[in-house]
Amino acid sequence: MRDPIVDLREIARLLDRHGGQSRRAKAFRNAADVLAGLPGTERARVDAAGAWATLPGIGTTTAKVIGQAHAGRTPDYLAELQATDGPLVAGPNPLLEHIRGDLHTHTEWSDGSSTLEEMALEAARLGREWLAITDHSPRLRIANGLSTERRREQREHIAALNEALRQAQGTGDAAFRVLPGAEVDILDDGSLDGEPEALDPLDVVVASVHSKLSMDADAMTVRMVTAIANPRTNVLGHCTGRLVSGDRGVRARSSFDAEVVFEACRQFDVAVEINSRPERQDPPDDLLALAADMGCLFSIDTDAHAPGQLGFSEYGAARAASVGLDPERIVTCWPVERVLAWATMSN
């Protein structure tokens, strides 16, 4: 018998990998959670009756997957996805092999769909050496932003996970490492959303604009530069806020003086994020080329909200290569100790 929980989660991963934030992926993940919560005797009873679809959270499609897995078959749905899986970017992608980590990811602590552990395991499976968890700041209530107390609890959770990873690794190579971080709202006046006691202990802070994206260009420029100059900021996230596709529709990019903003990033050693989500592709090509020409540092980030989306770095790596970036200028191509030293120096 195959493990249907493994199959359901693999289907969710593949759907996320090829479709971004997908309601279908969430349905398969929820079904796996339902199944994992069933006592063994109840699971055997439902299987014998062929009654998986009678359980809350399990529909016709997920019930078929479970039934086929219990029968020892590769579920048809999974086989179809595996047959069409492959690189997200056609042709050579030379920077991809240099990527060691990711500075912008989300978990179920805010608006992600998976646990810290699931995100870390998938990042390690992809060959990453480290992963920053950057759940949202408190003002972004729609995304379940973390209060100061919840941020402290998450840091403790990450510390415990890192200790478990060290023990599992033993005395060989360095263990995979999870970095406590935050994606912090840039408020209207350029200040960062979050109390110092929440932000100061973090390894990394991604500062992003999430509100009033159509603000006057001069005011937006001042807003962004003020945030970049804040010693706590390490990465400028999805700088234009645009959306080019996806479930949330299309959104025009914000207006600001890009030369002034990128010069501030260069002066304050703040990395410009290459947001790898296919619906963002932020910065746009012209601004990416400008920031590259101006000598900025970059961070190729997935902005992943589920394990399957950690593979979006393929898109970001290809875009970075298109403007001739060298791994030395991409902080997510650095070993973790160098990343931590850079982040500390900018504080």
- The answer to whether 46 touches 52, Cβ cutoff 8 Å, is yes
> Who's near 266: CB < 8 A, 6+ residues apart?
294, 295, 296, 297
Q: What is the secondary structure of 221-234 as a DSSP string?
A: HHHHHHHHHSTT--
Give CA–CA dist 220/213, Å, rounded: 8
Buried b (16+ CB within 10 A) or exposed e, 250-283: ebebbbbebeebbbbbbebbbbbbbbbbbbbbbb
- The answer to whether 217 touches 259, Cβ cutoff 8 Å, is no
Q: What angle do CA 42, 7, 123 make, to 5 degrees?
A: 125
Which strands sit side by side in the sheet containing 298-301, from one edge to the other?
A: 130-133, 177-185, 204-208, 235-236, 271-275, 298-301
Please tell me what DSSP assigns to residue 282: B
> What pLDDT tens digit does each residue of the chain (347 aa) get?
799 999 999 999 999 999 765 788 999 999 999 999 999 889 889 888 989 999 999 999 999 999 999 999 999 999 999 999 999 999 999 999 999 999 999 999 999 999 999 999 999 999 999 999 999 999 999 999 999 999 999 999 999 999 999 988 765 567 899 999 999 999 999 999 999 999 999 999 999 999 999 999 999 999 999 999 999 999 999 999 999 998 888 999 999 999 999 999 999 999 999 999 999 999 999 999 999 999 999 999 999 999 999 999 999 999 999 999 999 999 999 999 999 999 998 66
Closest CA to 26 of 264, 309, 344, 306: 306
